Amino acid sequence: MIALLAALVVSLAGLTIAFAGQRKLRLSTLGPDAGGAWRSFLAPLAVRLKPQGEALDGVLSLLQQAGKDGGALDRFLEDRALGLLVGVGGSAAAALLLDDEVGLLLGLAILAGGVILPRRRLEAEATQRRAAIAASLPSAVDLLMTSVDAGLSIEQAIARVGKELDGSWPVLARELSLTAKECEASVPLSEALRRLARRVELEDLSALCGVISQAHELGAPIVRTLAEYTDTTRKLRMAQLEEHAGKLATKLTLPLAVFLLPAALVFMLGAAGIQLLKVLE
């Protein structure tokens, strides 16, 4: 029964994600008019599901971190409405097809899954995007140092690095290109960097933006500042790796004792046991 419950919940998750993906694929293939029926059907429920106040700010921030465009909020609300409808339908089917207690529990699980899954998927996309930016950050810092050392201003260097990283690290390249365009539109560099840090919500990138902004405002050499930042970051990462390696040895102690010690005892005592049996015979 537990396996059946788990299978049904997983099936609901797959159906919710599949329906949302199929809807987006249909809209992108057939054009914006093809989504009129979907939007007119889901719009009333989506409007009622729209969060307010701090909850809305949290959703908008999460959409930015996931790299979504301006109309992403409406699509996210439509996905939540679709998940809620699938959850209600699945919970009703579970209550009708299964026993009372089992059907009730499964129905509640399906309903909760239909409501929660769209946000969890968005959080997963944001986490994956931040991981991609974190992986590309060392290359970006090296290119920034090279560009500034070659005589470019920091604004020009950011634009150049955005173009250079477009093929290998498109996520960070997109963010840097947007920052460069904001600087071209007369947005102060410090404000453009603050917007970049706020869009991504990555600690390493926020620290880098703060270092560049402070050095630019104080007139400090950007290359030397970036070199010091790189050296500090490298030492911090080495310390984190050493700490992780130290914890790993402790975590391996119990599995080694459980799985290797019995085998070692059998190996060491086996020969002695055989010799003892021969003597007794």
- Quick: pLDDT tens for 61-108: 888 888 887 677 777 777 777 777 777 777 777 777 776 677 777 777
45 & 114 share domain: yes
Note whether 144 and 159 are within 8 A (CB). Answer: no
- Residue 195 CA, chain-centre distance (Å), reads 19
The alpha-carbon radius of gyration of the chain (Å, integer) is 28
Q: How many domains does the chain have?
A: 2
244 part of a folded domain: no
Helix residue spans in 31-99 (DSSP H): 36-48, 54-65, 72-97
**DSSP assignment of 7-28:** HHHHHHHHHHHHHHHHHHHHHH
Per-residue pLDDT at 113 exceeds 80: no
* DSSP-derived secondary structure for 163-176: HHTTTT-HHHHHHH
154 and 99, same structural domain?
no
Q: Is residue 212 part of a domain?
A: yes
Instruction: Tell me: pLDDT of 203 over 70.
Output: yes
Q: Which of these three, 102, 128, 154, is where a domain ends?
A: 128
Residue 35: pLDDT over 60: no
- pLDDT for 41: 66
Residue-range definition of the domain harbouring residue 217:
132-234
Q: Which two tokens stand for residue 109?
A: 């699980």
Tallying the residues shown for the chain, one arrives at 281
- Whether 116 is in a domain gets the answer yes
- What is the pLDDT averaged over residues 42-54? 69
Distance, in Å, from the CA atom of 99 to the CA atom of 97, rounded to the nearest integer, reads 7
Q: Which residue has the higher pLDDT, 153 or 259?
A: 153
Average pLDDT over residues 122-139: 90
Confidence of residue 247 (pLDDT cuts 50, 70, 90): confident
pLDDT band at 245 (very low <50, low <70, confident <90, very high): confident
Examine residue 191 and state whether it is found in any structural domain, yes or no. Answer: yes
Query: Are both 177 and 198 inside the same structural domain?
Result: yes
Give pLDDT, residue 210. Answer: 93
